[in-house]
Amino acid sequence: MLVRRFPRAVGSLPLLVAFVREFFAEHHLDPEQAYDVDLVLEELFTNMVRHARGGTPEIEVGLALDGNTLTMRLRDEGVEPWDPGQAPAVDVNRPLEERRPGGLGLHFIRQVARDLRFEHVDGATVVTAVLEVAR
């Protein structure tokens, strides 16, 4: 698994995109296929930046490929246990004036990821997402 640590800030997003491109190049994957990986990684990372309580200055991100299966793992140390996976599903069919943007990130992840798992182990929240990528 290719692992790197990123500052706990929304400003890290361009670094995450570069990390994904590096991973795609290393595995000879078409960068045109990176959209869903960027989307899941951004939504998970910004969730940690904005909602996790406590935490070290950096968040660890890992990517691994097995065949067409890409596994993404984010490890957030020193945070209180939290599981955004328990948040109620967003209703995207509500009338325009009743719509609020909250909850869409997790909704998007559920649209494109095959599996999503939240764990709290030894003071760290570990989130694992599994996606399929075309080769």
Binding of another protein at residue 104 (CB under 8 A)? yes
Binding of another protein at residue 39 (CB under 8 A)? yes
Q: 5, 46, 71, 133: which one contacts another protein (CB under 8 A)?
A: 46
Binding of another protein at residue 107 (CB under 8 A)? yes
Which lies closer to another protein via its Cβ, residue 82 or residue 108?
108
Binding of another protein at residue 84 (CB under 8 A)? no
| Binding letters toward another protein, positions 1-20, x by CB under 8 A | ---------xx-xx--x---
Q: How many residues does the chain have?
A: 135
**Cβ atoms within 10 Å of 23's Cβ, excluding its own:** 21
- Confirm if 42 and 59 have CB atoms less than 8 A apart: no
Binding of another protein at residue 88 (CB under 8 A)? no
Beta strands in the chain (DSSP E): 2-7, 58-66, 69-77, 115-121, 124-132
Rounded to an integer, what distance in angstroms lies between the CA atom of residue 79 and that of residue 70? 26
Binding site for another protein (CB under 8 A): 10-11, 13-14, 17, 35, 38-39, 42-43, 46, 92-94, 96-97, 99, 101, 104-105, 107-108, 111
